[in-house]
């Protein structure tokens, strides 16, 4: 079984651990995190070192890594960490919960997490290092850009384009056929009925610019 290092030891990491353990495809060796080095985080897994040690981790035969931090207001941290570990040689697999439903012809980018009861439907594309969280739905023929997060129970209806570095909040709905630009935040519970320009924050039902 291949060894995998989890990058970041926050709350989202516990969900990643649960999924990987139930999949049984990787052996989790522990965490890389800037804080609490040597301490146990969850289910016996410890912080082995910081991001400064990534080359050392790779030299010790750990070839796989996975971003186990969630959305932190911006995707800058996730991007920076991915680039650092990717440059060191790590491979970022797709981790899809065994209770997720992913269409046979869906295209999923490296490092993406698909949570429990999430759905990625036919002919959709999800970019790299995305989070399709618990019970989120990405319907048919959608495109989700790199480093975007579709939060818990959010629904992206068919034929919708969502750019890179976006956050679609918990229980939000984006109706079919829309175009959502890069670096957009859709507030939790919002209903998006029209296209959204890059860099916007929209909230409400119907969603309007904040």
Residues marked active site are found at: 140
Question: From residue 27, how far is each of 2, 6, 22, 30, 170 by CA, in Å?
Answer: 6, 11, 11, 9, 30
The DSSP secondary structure of 7-75, one letter per residue, reads E--SHHHHHHHHHHHHHTSEEEEEEE-SSSTT-EEETTEEEEE-GGGHHHHHHTT--EEEE-----SSS
- Please give the Cα distance from 192 to 166 (Å, whole number): 14
Phi and psi for 52 in degrees, rounded to 5? -65, -15
The DSSP secondary structure of 130-141, one letter per residue, reads -EE-TT-EE-TT
- Please give the Cα distance from 116 to 96 (Å, whole number): 8
Taking CA 133 as the corner, what is the angle to CA 90 and CA 108, rounded to the nearest 5 degrees? 50
- Please give the Cα distance from 28 to 185 (Å, whole number): 32
């Amino acid at each position: 079984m291949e060894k995998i290092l989890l990058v970041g030891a926050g709350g989202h990491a516990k969900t990643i651990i649960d999924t990987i353990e139930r999949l049984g495809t990787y052996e989790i060796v522990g965490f890389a995190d800037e804080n609490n080095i040597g301490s146990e985080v969850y289910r016996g897994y410890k912080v082995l070192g910081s991001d400064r040690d990534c080359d050392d981790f790779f030299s010790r035969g750990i070839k796989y890594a996975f971003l186990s931090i969630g959305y932190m207001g911006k995707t800058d941290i996730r991007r920076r960490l991915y680039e650092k570990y990717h440059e060191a040689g790590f491979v970022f697999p797709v981790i899809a919960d065994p209770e997720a439903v992913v269409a046979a012809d869906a295209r999923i980018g490296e490092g993406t997490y698909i949570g429990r009861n999430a759905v990625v439907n036919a002919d959709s594309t999800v970019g790299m290092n995305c989070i399709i969280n618990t019970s989120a739905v990405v319907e048919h023929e959608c495109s989700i850009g790199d480093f975007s997060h579709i939060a818990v129970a959010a629904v992206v209806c068919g034929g919708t384009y969502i750019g890179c570095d976006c956050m679609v909040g918990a229980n939000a709905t984006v109706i079919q056929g829309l175009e959502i630009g890069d670096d957009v935040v859709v507030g939790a519970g919002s209903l998006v009925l029209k296209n959204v320009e890059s860099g916007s924050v929209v909230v409400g039902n119907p969603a309007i610019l904040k």
